[in-house]
Amino acid sequence: MRQLLSCINYLHSVGIVHCDLKPENILLEDNRELQQLKIIDFGFAQEINKADNQRLSKTWGTPHYSAPEVFEGDYCEKVDLWSAGVICYLLLSDEFPFWGETREELIQVIKQGNLSFTTSTWDNVSDSAKDFISKLLTVEEDKRLSADEALSHPWIQQSTQQMWSEMKPCDFSIIVTALNNLLQYSPKNELQRAAFALIASQFLPK
């Protein structure tokens, strides 16, 4: 999440809103370690001038990861932070924070933004992590964290060394669960796999 937020923060600093952040659009440069995260697929990306308080209106992306204001056609760069919140919720629970049987029902649920941490999955997740997610999945855009603010959140600020040194035995199962949740997003569709293989083979290492 720290790496993802750093990517988002950089994009926003140069006036780019990705507009389609989801696990499928996050790749690793190296198979062996989580040190070189890359954001891909800028097909829906838009330029924005924050100095002029520019607003965007084009609808885009995958509904499950879309912020409420996207469906209203009036939004800013903070839609990327909502998507990051959905990704974080998904990694920690293997569930979407909002769900609907139809697209229309899903949109209504997202607009209401009633976030819940009531399932047993969340019993071993820290209050700090829940607070972090809550501040990203905030319906009111002006109250949602910016990328810079999200990077300063205590949950993100914890040093890696401190996290491992203070880890309780049950915490290791949380990490394993999160990594297994990531694995669920490997492409299952043959066409998807072929497309990803073609993309990967045509890229230079970077």
| pLDDT tens column, 31-55 | 666 567 889 999 999 999 878 888 9
Strands, E assignment, the chain: 16-17, 26-28, 37-39, 46-47
How far apart are the C-alpha atoms of 142 and 55, rounded to whole Å? 13
Indicate the SS3 state at residue 177: helix
**Which pLDDT score is estimated for 160?**
46
Instruction: At 17, give phi and psi (nearest 5°).
Output: -110, 125
Band (161; pLDDT cuts 50, 70, 90): very low
Distances (CA, A) of 28 to 11, 119, 129, 206: 18, 30, 23, 10
**Which pLDDT score is estimated for 98?**
96
| pLDDT tens column, 71-125 | 999 999 999 999 999 999 999 998 999 999 999 999 999 999 999 999 888 998 9
Which of the residues are catalytic?
Answer: 20
Q: What is the pTM of this model?
A: 0.79
Q: Which domains does the chain have, with CATH numbers?
A: 2-202 (1.10.510.10)
